[in-house]
Amino acid sequence: MTDDEFERVNEDGASVDDFATRAIHAGWDPDPETGAIMPPVYASSTFAQDAPGEDRGYEYSRTGNPTRTALEDNLASLEGGEYGRAFASGMAAINTVLNLLESGDHVVVGRDVYGGTHRLFTQVYEDYDLEFSFVDATDLKAVEAAMTSATELVWIETPTNPLMQIVDIEAVADVAHDGDALLAVDNTFATPYLQRPLAHGADIVAHSLTKYLGGHSDVVGGALVTDDPDLDERLGFSQNSVGATPDPFACFLVLRGTKTLPVRMDRHSENARRLAAWLDDHPAVEGVHYPGLDSHPGHDIAAAQMDDFGGMLSVEFDATLEAVRTVVSETEVFTLAESLGGVESLIEHPATMTHAAVPAAERRETGITDGLVRLSVGLEGIDDLRTDLQRAIEAGIGG
Ligand code: PLP
């Protein structure tokens, strides 16, 4: 939505401040020529120029594409930021943040991050002479202690993957800024509907659009949002130079997803809350990691910085690896698969799937045990989800 449009709708009394309104309208007004409600998929690699060097806002689709602009503006609005950048994947977005750094720089990273992020940092960028310290980011003293004069970036996720720990964004932003470092928050699990890190002091928000923002398990994408024009320019330089940009159809699909983000997240959160409560009382379950539970150690911080607790949870079974592998293989409504955030429920075993790239000793230290199972709770009927899990638990563990 342009600034003028924003004003006009405001004058008409409609609440454009409402997240749900922006989810549907921000980034695109109906096409003035055709009235098209959705942005066309501008399948054009290049754009005609009126004279050499005089384009109409677009010259080449790696650099910019109108469908991508619609998505980037939509995402910036949802995160409450000024500038959005879309990428070919979440990892491409994360890589672009790392491109801000120079050899010799140091990064403090929350320990319980997505396995692919851990792999990129340690197996790609350590070779470029960047140094990473992995710390328990729920422990502010540990974050403070890890900062050095070379620290340029602090990288966190909250809720974390897969242990659903809650990091206090505002407190970590203060520590990062005291050390003249940037704070980047991977907001994939919460989504901007439930949590807007820029409002809590983060400098950059990162997303895997593949998850809740796309929402239908049919597209891979990533995004970065910031409020800082200089930072955005540097991110844009890398976006164009490296070229890991999404094609316009991918952008169209994500835009279709963001329109329904609020209603989906409400149902994801409701289903996850009910499953977490049921599993918490289950005799075969040793523990449930869900920030919506009063007993969760990060519950109060989550309640303060999130609007609801989301659709992800993980469950600790006191059972052998074999028994747990049977549980995750036996579900029928929950599909055994990596990824998360689609309308359908998924189940996975972090130690052998999403987090297999994290060395075993580090996994154990982080708490990713062989008994841990992660659920991406979808939008199906809650009774079907409960019955499905109960049957699979009985098949694997009994009880
Ligand atoms: N961040 C988080 C929290 C993720 O779970 C993932 C993927 O699972 C990524 C980033 C990477 O995103 P992508 O798979 O779109 O590259």
Determine the Cα–Cα distance for residues 96 and 105; give it in Å rounded to an integer. 15
More confident residue, 354 or 86: 86
Nearest atom within ligand 1 for CA of residue 113: 3
Contact predicate 201/174, CB 8 Å: yes
Q: How far apart are CA 216 and CA 198, in angstroms?
A: 26
Alpha-carbon span 212 to 191, nearest angstrom: 7
Q: Which fold has domain 16-258?
A: Aspartate Aminotransferase; domain 2 (3.40.640)
The pLDDT of residue 3 is: 46
- Tell me the mean pLDDT in the region 42-53: 97
Look up 211 and say whether it is catalytic: yes
Query: Where does the pLDDT of residue 17 fall: very low under 50, low under 70, confident under 90, or very high at 90 and above?
Result: low
Q: Which atom of ligand 1 is nearest to the CA of 209?
A: 15
Q: What's the gap in Å between 56 CA and the centre of ligand 1?
A: 34
User: pLDDT, tens digit, for every residue of 186-205?
Assistant: 999 999 999 999 999 999 99
Please identify which residue in the block is written with the tokens 């910036």: 76
Residue 180 appears among annotated catalytic residues: no
Query: 225 - beta bridge partners?
Result: 84, 205
Check residue 67 and give its pLDDT. Answer: 98
**Does 186 qualify as catalytic in the annotation?**
yes
With 90 as the cut, is the pLDDT of residue 181 above it? yes
Instruction: Give the other-Cβ count within 10 Å of 286's Cβ.
Output: 13
* Nearest C-alpha neighbor of 277 from the set 302, 301, 313, 328: 313
pLDDT value at position 399?
Answer: 64
Give percent of the chain above pLDDT 70.
95
Q: How far is CA 312 from CA 60, 128, 283, 288, 365, in A?
A: 39, 34, 21, 11, 22
Residue 14: per-residue pLDDT: 42
> CB pairs under 8 A, 24+ apart, for 35-40?
38/252, 38/255, 38/256, 39/66, 39/67, 39/70, 39/252, 39/255, 40/66, 40/67
Domain spans of the chain?
16-258, 261-396
Q: For the residues 255-273, what does the mean pLDDT come to?
A: 98
Pocket test residue of 75, 186, 189, 211 for ligand 1, highest count of atoms within 8 A of CB: 211
| 94 CA: nearest ligand 1 atom | 10
Is pLDDT larger for residue 328 or for residue 365?
328
Mean pLDDT over all residues of the chain?
94
Sheet harboring 346-348: ordered strands across?
Answer: 285-289, 312-317, 372-376, 346-348, 335-336
Average pLDDT of span 42-60: 97
Rg over CA atoms, the chain: 21
- The whole-number pLDDT of residue 6 equals 41
If you average pLDDT over residues 333-337, what whole number do you get? Answer: 98
Catalytic residue among 105, 186, 203, 388: 186
Q: Whose CA is nearest to atom 15 of ligand 1?
A: 90
pTM comes to: 0.94
User: What's the CATH superfamily of 261-396?
Assistant: Aspartate Aminotransferase, domain 1 (3.90.1150.10)
Percent of the chain with pLDDT over 90: 90
Q: What is the rounded distance in angstroms from the CA atom of residue 177 to the CA atom of residue 330?
A: 48
Task: Give CA–CA dist 270/267, Å, rounded.
Answer: 5
Residue 4 has pLDDT above 50, yes or no: no
